[in-house]
Amino acid sequence: MNLEAAIKDFHAHAEKVKMYNSAMAVMYFDAATVAPKGGIADRAKRSGFFAAQLFDLITGDKMKELLAALSPHEGRLDPITAGMYRMAKKNYDKHVKVPAAKFRAFRELVTKAQNVWEDARKDDDFAAFAPYLKDIIAASKEMVEYRRIDDAPAYDYLLDDYEEGMTMQIYDEYFGKVRDAIVPLLKGVVESTKKIDKSIVQKPVSIEAQRKIAHYIAGMIGYDHNRGYICESVHPFCNSSSRDDVRITTRYNENDFLSSLFTILHECGHAIYEQSTGDDIAQTMLSRGVSMGIHESQSRFYENVIGRSRGFWEFVTDELKTYLPDAYKDMTAEQFYEAANYAAPSLIRVEADELTYSLHIMIRYEIERMIFTQDIDVMDLPAIWNKKYEEYLGITPPNNRLGVLQDVHWSGGMFGYFPTYSLGSAYAAQFLAYMKRGLDFDGLVKKGEFAAITAWLTDKIHRHGSIYTPHDLVDKIAGEQLNADYYVSYLQEKFGGLYRIGM
Amino acid sequence: MNLEAAIKDFHAHAEKVKMYNSAMAVMYFDAATVAPKGGIADRAKRSGFFAAQLFDLITGDKMKELLAALSPHEGRLDPITAGMYRMAKKNYDKHVKVPAAKFRAFRELVTKAQNVWEDARKDDDFAAFAPYLKDIIAASKEMVEYRRIDDAPAYDYLLDDYEEGMTMQIYDEYFGKVRDAIVPLLKGVVESTKKIDKSIVQKPVSIEAQRKIAHYIAGMIGYDHNRGYICESVHPFCNSSSRDDVRITTRYNENDFLSSLFTILHECGHAIYEQSTGDDIAQTMLSRGVSMGIHESQSRFYENVIGRSRGFWEFVTDELKTYLPDAYKDMTAEQFYEAANYAAPSLIRVEADELTYSLHIMIRYEIERMIFTQDIDVMDLPAIWNKKYEEYLGITPPNNRLGVLQDVHWSGGMFGYFPTYSLGSAYAAQFLAYMKRGLDFDGLVKKGEFAAITAWLTDKIHRHGSIYTPHDLVDKIAGEQLNADYYVSYLQEKFGGLYRIGM
């Protein structure tokens, strides 16, 4: 096959991959929102069928042949084809080297384990889950051995799976800085004389009103309703089947309207990223956010950097009150701002505030690191977990439901995933610092001129989709890599000021 | 390939077909309900891609090979495999004999024509649409010639496409009886001293209340909410992606709650049919209603035979009032019954009442018959149309928007489709007569015991899916074929009584 023909063929094959991904996104959205309970067995069968079709496209003989044809020319491909080649090759290598039977056994193990975990969590029975966790750890280690191309530690392979280029070395340094800065900062918050009363934003707001608020907030922040749809699901998510069809979901709690408001901002960050892919790649498989860490940086940017800023509340308070019941009529922007930034030690990651969130992640990273580099007994994990919560957050989970059993990730074999959540916050703070070099961020937010902010993010990040590695993408913005200093300064400045620490 | 292997292979291939059909059903539902406008281009591309994948499965070399392997054994296949073979063979022959280029050109023609028709209808400009209609007619005739296996008239091929086994000979006899009975019956209604006031059921009912009514009515009539979902769309439809996921949509009009109530009953008829497929075929491609006529017989049975019966209103009125505003509090069951059966000549098919509906269909059948058996000028169609409305319904469309331009079907090349709508009503009346031989239908309805009625329909019709031809299915119930006498008697008895004709 000559190069031109190979490229053409490769693009056609990649288009098929995109079509299947797109169809699966629609079916996933349907299943998570409106599909009836009774159809679950047939849906599982169908989704297995399409996953197998897709697996065949990305790991089959055709892909093998195409990658082999392109490989000698790798350095001379146009940027789009090069990006697609990189992505396809990584996917191919990751899946093909593990024997199909091992892969299937692993899928079956984690499917079973997730059910066991659900019950174990409900019953607060870690011992019931432990043998499954042990098997998943062993299988995860074994699967890395099949893929091994160098002598890097197994956990580095897993970290790279969720964020290309990441290693323990990088994360150790990163979390080291986070620990050194946030643990004392949190101590300062706890001991501060400044107290924030969260109850003032917990007066009831009807679901109907919250739906209108969601629509308003999303449109105002830059989400394109004409190429999107907002509805409800048990767990909020962002779902993209094409650049022009990017949906978000949320859930509503009558007594906590801010929870949904921030969920909307969070999912809008993901969605605006997907909606802003450049025309040149919109129809290719590169038309999606490049990595979990970069994706999370966008959701955290809209949720926290913008949404939990003082300027945002100065801009939004009057308009927001037109949707809120009378009980909110005397609230000031400053009161909303403070309530939105209430910080305190807590046990549950998904309910954690902006300040403590990365401590929750750090604990999980440290434990995963132990699991893959030391010979630890899984039955010791609850104690290890609780000790770390005591050490970093100053509180001890009273049971494993509120401790080691709270997250689904390990039962799904998703080791290496957690740290990307924290990366998101760190990158968001880093991008903010870069942005401020050229834009009056605070001034824009205060005036509600979010379009200029999104334009900056689109230019530097969104439009590129997956064309560059996350490493190269970040490097292109300011000639620098992940640097926790920005994140640390951001938190110190914000929470130091709010809680009057050292003043 | 030996027979056993061929059967196994055939089932595996048919399972793939089912998977693609199921995925396409989900994507269709999504597109018709919540998908954002902005994503329309990517959706069109994706649906073209999957249609092509499916086309390849049902007409490609693999299917050809399988059909050839099974063909010598056709008479000795088990009933399920035989049903699947029949269905697959018919589909294969229908699509493969027409050259792909002709098929594509036809698709393009009707896509264009539908846009032209939309504008023509809006502008009341038949002349703009006429050249497209002429081309579609010519292309439809030409495509039949490719498929021809005998010297039957071209229109018989088209009639058979929409309802297997149907011919002009059968429909001529059928519509002859319909014409002879309904035209004078309608005259009797028009001249009757009995007048029905429809406005008493047109007092406003909020959409929220109508949603609750829809949920109540559907569940009460036998729709399984656990394996379904009800929502809104521009045009109501029933959508099945598996036996255990059958959804219906409706639309609400504040000033006509009965319209939506009957739409729900209608779609429930389709849905209960799909939800009641037998276990033996639920996982096969036979798990769907056998034909348009039989499917419509079920929707009309629930909508008209049950829903527009006096007993239904005797049962439902009290409960229904708990959802209705105070303005309805003095309504009696008899008043609801009468309003639900208001009959009068009208111009628009989709708004026609139970009595006149088949006259609208008959007019379309007679015109299609002329188109395919006589050499008529399409420019004469408006005059032909109007003359028939004058003759059968006693009213003349004031323009073509309310006349020959009202339906989408011809612009889509769907000749032969219309008569199946009328078949539905006729079969429904026929099944009612058979049912009454063993069940106290009126007594059951009056007591709200719909389960016994559905059980009869499930036993005779629903559970069989597409395993038999419609002809064989009807024959199995009472050893008889389509017989308009039942339908005619049903209408005469009902509307003769209600409008006191000849009394």
pLDDT digits (tens, 9 = 90+) for A2-46: 899 999 999 999 999 999 999 999 999 999 999 999 999 999 999
Task: Quickly count helices (H) and strands (E) in chain B.
Answer: 20, 3
Report the relative pairing of strands A238-242 and B228-232 from DSSP bridges: unpaired
Phi, psi dihedral angles at B249 (to 5 degrees)? -125, 160
Percent of chain B with pLDDT over 90: 96
Partner-chain contact B245 A43, CB within 8 Å = yes
CA distances in angstroms from A426 to A382, A497, B262, B275, B366, listed in the order given: 28, 19, 57, 51, 73
Q: Domains in chain B and their CATH numbers?
A: 3-151 (no CATH), 168-345+418-498 (1.10.1370.30)
Within 8 A by CB and 6+ apart from B156, the residues are B166, B167, B168
pLDDT of residue B502: 73
- Does A35 contact B245 at a Cβ distance shorter than 8 Å? yes
Token duo for residue A21: 């991904």
3-class secondary-structure state, position A230: strand
Per-residue pLDDT tens digits for B471-482: 999 999 999 999
- Percentage of chain B modeled with pLDDT above 70: 100
Contact A39 B225 (CB under 8 A): no
Task: Give the tens place of pLDDT for each residue, B67-114.
Answer: 999 999 999 999 999 999 999 999 999 889 888 889 889 989 999 999
Q: Are A289 and A273 in contact (CB under 8 A)?
A: yes
Three-state DSSP at B248 gives: strand
Q: Could you tell me which of A494, A489, A488 has the C-alpha nearest to residue A175?
A: A488
Q: Higher pLDDT residue, B94 or A369? A: A369
Task: Give pLDDT tens digits for B193-206.
Answer: 999 999 999 999 99
**Euclidean distance between CA atoms B126 and B404, whole angstroms:** 8
Q: What's the pLDDT score for residue A503? A: 57
Residue A2: the pLDDT is 87
Question: Residue A409: what pLDDT?
Answer: 96
Q: Are B132 and B408 in contact (CB under 8 A)?
A: no
Q: Do B244 and A26 touch (CB under 8 A)?
A: no
Q: Are B337 and B313 in contact (CB under 8 A)?
A: yes
Taking alpha carbons only, the member of B89, B100, B97 closest to residue B148 is: B97
Known catalytic residue: B267? Answer: yes
What ipTM goes with this model? 0.92
Q: Do B241 and A42 touch (CB under 8 A)?
A: yes
Q: Is A23 on the interface with B (CB under 8 A)?
A: yes
Burial environment of residue B43 by CB neighbours within 10 A (0 to 12, 13 to 18, 19 or more): buried
Instruction: Report d(CA B87, CA B285) in Å as an integer.
Output: 9
> Cβ–Cβ contacts within 10 Å for residue A414, how many?
18
Q: What is the least distance, in Å, from the CA of B223 to any CA of chain A?
A: 13
**Residue in A108, A173, A232, A267 annotated catalytic:** A267
Q: Does B208 touch chain A (CB under 8 A)?
A: no
CA nearest A19 in B: which residue? B46
Do A243 and B42 lie within an 8 Å CB cutoff? yes
Q: Name the DSSP letter for residue A437.
A: T
Residue A272 sits at φ, ψ, to 5 deg, of: -65, -40
pLDDT at B103: 87
Nearest to A84 by CA among A297, A283, A303: A283
Helix, strand, coil fractions of chain B, as percent rounded to 5: 70, 5, 30
Two tokens at B209? 């209340």
Q: List residues bridging with B238 in a β-sheet.
A: B248
Residue B247 structure tokens = 């959804």
d(CA A339, CA A203): 13
Is B244–A50 a contact, with Cβ atoms under 8 angstroms apart? no
Ramachandran class of A413: left when φ > 0, alpha when ψ lies in -120 to 50, beta otherwise: left
Burial class (CB in 10 A: 0-12, 13-18, 19+), A209: middle
Contacts 24+ apart (CB under 8 A), A248-251: A248/A218, A248/A223, A249/A32, A249/A33, A250/A214
| DSSP element (H, E) containing A456 | helix A450-460
**pLDDT one-digit tens code per residue, B315-333:** 999 999 999 999 999 999 9
Q: How many C-beta atoms lie closer than 10 Å to residue B499's C-beta? A: 24
pLDDT given for residue B503 in this prediction? 57
A26 and B22 in contact by Cβ < 8 A? no
Distance (Å) from the C-alpha of residue A395 to the closest C-alpha of chain B? 43
- Kindly report the average pLDDT of chain A as a whole number: 96
A167-176 mean pLDDT: 98
Chain A nearest C-alpha distance from B101 (Å): 22
For B2-17, the pLDDT digits (tens) are 899 999 999 999 999 9
Distances (CA, A) of A394 to A344, A382, A397: 10, 16, 10
CA distance A433 to A429: 6
CA distance B23 to chain A (A): 7
Nearest chain A residue to B38 by CA: give it. Answer: A227
Of B26, B39, B224, the CB nearest to A38: B224
Among B164, B267, B303, B366, the one annotated catalytic: B267
- Give me the mean pLDDT over the B212-240 stretch: 97
pLDDT, residue B232, reads: 96
- B contacts of A21 (beta carbons < 8 Å): none
* Min Cα separation B411/chain A (Å): 29
Could B229 and A34 be called an inter-chain contact, meaning their C-beta atoms sit closer than 8 Å? yes
The Cα of B281 is separated from the nearest Cα of chain A by a number of Å equal to 13
Res A388: pLDDT: 98
The pLDDT tens digits of the residues spanning A313-329 come to: 999 999 999 999 999 99
Residue A27 is nearest to which of B26, B37, B41, comparing CB atoms? B26
Chain A residues near residue B39 by CB distance under 8 angstroms: 227, 241-242, 244-245
Of A46, A229, A244, the CB nearest to B19: A46
Q: What's the CA gap between A361 and A369, in Å, rounded?
A: 12
**Radius of gyration (C-alpha) of chain A in whole angstroms:** 23
Q: Using CB atoms, which residue from A19, A41, A245 is nearest to B36?
A: A245
Chain A residues whose CB is inside 8 A of the B37 CB are 226
pLDDT confidence of residue A103: 87
Please judge whether B26 and A29 are an interchain contact, meaning their C-beta atoms are less than 8 angstroms apart. no
Q: What is the mean pLDDT of residues B279-306?
A: 97
Q: What is the largest CA-CA distance in chain B?
A: 73
Residue of chain A whose Cα is closest to the Cα of B283: A42
Contact flag B38-A224 (C-beta cutoff 8 Å): yes
Tens of pLDDT, residue by residue over B133-168, are: 999 999 999 999 999 999 999 999 999 999 999 999
Contact assignment for B229 to A16 by CB distance below 8 Å? no
Q: What is the pLDDT of residues A247-289, one digit of tens each?
A: 999 999 999 999 999 999 999 999 999 999 999 999 999 999 9
Distance CA A465, CA A83 (A): 10
Entry pTM: 0.93
> Which residues in B lie closer than 8 A to residue A241 (C-beta atoms)?
39, 42, 46
Q: Tell me the count of A-B CB pairs closer than 8 A.
A: 97
Query: What is the arithmetic mean of pLDDT over A445-454?
Result: 98
Which A residues in the span 25-64 are in contact with B, Cβ-Cβ below 8 Å?
26-27, 29-30, 34-43, 46, 49-50
Q: How many Å apart are CA A471 and CA A163, to the nearest integer?
A: 9
Residue A502 reports pLDDT greater than 90: no
